[in-house]
């Protein structure tokens, strides 16, 4: 006789958390793109600047939630007191991979590169 699977099994909870993280990552990317486009718009109207500020605020909130959730997932998987690596799926590996890129892209590059260099690169790429 097989034991009946519970809805609240750890596998299901982790899978649900991964889906939440993916949704947050998508929302983060949408707000990042929106912020980049509006912050470098040619015509700065009051509405454009207002939406730009909203995109920036939501981008920062999504980034914070994403980083906290991914950090908790990393802590769970790589805890030294247990063997949780069997929970590592290809989706989770992809999330960790994307987490690295998001941390690199969202780093404060103005600390090492002049702000004018980044602005000129973005302006040239947007036209």
pLDDT digits (tens, 9 = 90+) for 38-95: 877 777 788 888 888 888 999 999 989 988 888 888 888 888 887 777 778 887 788 8
How confident is the model at residue 115, as a pLDDT? 64
Residue 12 CB neighbours (<10 A): 12
Lookup: tokens for 13: 């909870």
**CA–CA distance, 29 with 25 (Å, rounded to integer):** 6
Lookup: tokens for 77: 């998987």
List the Cα angle 30/32/35 in 5-degree steps. 110
Q: Which ranges constitute the DSSP H helices of the chain?
A: 10-39, 46-77, 90-105, 115-126
Residue 1 pLDDT grade (very low, low, confident, very high; cuts 50, 70, 90): very low
Give the C-alpha distances (Å, rounded to integers) separating 81 from 72, 85, 87: 15, 12, 15
What is the arithmetic mean of pLDDT over 8-24? 80
Asked if residue 21 has pLDDT above 60, the reply is yes
Q: Is 74 in contact with 96 (CB distance < 8 Å)? A: yes
**CA–CA distance, 7 with 11 (Å, rounded to integer):** 9
CA 122 vs. chain centroid, Å, equals 21
């Amino acid at each position: 006789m097989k034991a009946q699977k519970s809805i609240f099994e750890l596998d299901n909870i982790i899978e649900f958390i991964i889906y939440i993280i993916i949704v947050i990552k998508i929302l983060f990317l949408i707000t990042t793109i929106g912020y980049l486009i509006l912050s470098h718009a040619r015509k700065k109207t009051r509405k454009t600047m207002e939406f730009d500020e909203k995109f920036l605020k939501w981008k920062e909130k999504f980034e914070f939630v994403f980083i906290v959730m991914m950090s908790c997932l990393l802590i769970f998987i790589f805890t030294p007191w247990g063997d949780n690596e069997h929970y590592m799926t290809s989706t989770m590996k992809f999330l960790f991979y994307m987490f690295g890129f998001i941390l690199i892209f969202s780093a404060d590059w103005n600390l090492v590169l002049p702000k004018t260099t980044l602005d000129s690169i973005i302006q040239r790429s947007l036209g």
